[in-house]
Structure 1
Amino acid sequence: MADKIYNALFLCSRNSARSILAEGLLNEHGHGRFKAYSAGSDPSDEVHPLALETLQSLRMPTAGFRSKSWNEFAKPDAPQMDFILTVCDKAAGEVCPVWPGQPITAHWGVADPVAFEGDDAAKLHQFRAAAVTLTRRIELLLSLPLHRLDALAIKREITDIGLADQ
């Protein structure tokens, strides 16, 4: 099924920065092969402004992003996910909802740019560094011949992607 559109959900505890960046990056770079979503276990009230500024600096759309609970994606009428990727260590260690369809899961830990303390320019640099890390990992995901691999091989490959630059 080379023309299948894969659904991917990026999880982070607050769904305000890293998971938002990953959603935007995969939707842009996936060129219709992927539909990315993001959510959090304890979503914040808003998307971090520097996450949107980072996407905008990469000439990517920034409209429509919102911080949301991962429970939205565990409902029966939610899109069925092919991949669940945690991008923060806290979310990776939490008990997740049961995801319909047995998606492939992996952890792609990325340093939290929100936690960085410094001036605005230094903070923005941290957001951009997170975007670079996520872009590299997404490019590796996109290079996989998913339609020719079995689920176990895909699981191994996407797990390795999360370990590639640590």
Structure 2
Amino acid sequence: MYGVSVTRKYKVLFLCRENSARSIIAEALLRELAGHRFDAFSAGPEPAARVHPIAIAQLRPGISDLGALSPKSWLEFTGEWAPRMDLVIALDASVAGHHAPLFPGEPALCNWTFSDPLADGMPEPERVRLFEKVFWQIVRQISTFIELPQYATARETAASVGSSVCVSDAL
């Protein structure tokens, strides 16, 4: 292929407890907005049986492949056969840092903490509003993340970025 620049795709794994809402939303958005530069995955320690219907409703208008989304155990990403992640992003405190397993490839780890729209005891109208709020927070976070200069350059810079890959979640 002449005249085409072939660059490596970065592998990003998003984590949240049930892998049915926040991490699924982040995976879908990164894949849709920058799938040519990133391979996006999501998982959690206690995967739900299905993607939460409100998460699907939030994604439906702009995500082309909703069928590819499903809750997965983070153990699927820990074996020798697992893809080597460049970055693992925890989307809630219960899976951050020392709670997460070791992932092959020594990926950078960071936290983007968002409210849990699946919290118990929340009335349905409030839950829907929180889903929408969290969805747009994740959109802003992903949009900022994909604009980071290290992801437009060679792999050597990815190893040196450290905590700068962890865009502040205070957007």
Which deviations, in whole Å up to 9, do the C-alpha atoms of 1:135-156 show, x marking residues without a partner?
111111111122263534x222
Partner of 2:123: 118
The size of the alignment, in residue pairs, is: 162
| Contact 1:14/1:44 (<8 A) preserved | yes
Q: What SS does the aligned partner of 1:162 have?
A: coil
The structure whose Rg is larger is 2
Which among 16, 27, 34 is matched to residue 20 of structure 2? 16
Partner of 1:133: 137
Distance 1:69 1:157 in 2: 27
| Contact 1:55/1:61 (<8 A) preserved | no
Which deviations, in whole Å up to 9, do the C-alpha atoms of 1:77-108 show, x marking residues without a partner?
11110110000111115532221111111000
More displaced, 66-75 or 54-63?
54-63
Which deviations, in whole Å up to 9, do the C-alpha atoms of 1:30-49 show, x marking residues without a partner?
14100100000111222111
Structure 2 unmatched ranges of 5 or more: none
1:155 aligns with 2:155: no
Structure 1 unmatched ranges of 5 or more: none
Pair 1:105–1:151, CA change in 2 (3 A): same
Distance 1:105 1:88 in 2: 13
Distance 2:59 2:27 in 1: 10
More displaced, 18-27 or 128-137?
128-137
The amino acid of 2:53's aligned partner reads P
Which among 79, 90, 93 is matched to residue 89 of structure 1? 93
Partner of 1:25: 29
More displaced, 25-34 or 108-117?
108-117
| Contact 2:29/2:63 (<8 A) preserved | no
The amino acid of 1:119's aligned partner reads E
> TM-score, with normalisation over the residues of structure 2?
0.85
Which deviations, in whole Å up to 9, do the C-alpha atoms of 1:39-91 show, x marking residues without a partner?
00111222111111110033443112211100000111111101100001111
1:52 aligns with 2:60: no
Distance 2:35 2:128 in 1: 26
| Contact 2:32/2:63 (<8 A) preserved | no
Overall identity of the aligned pairs, in %: 33
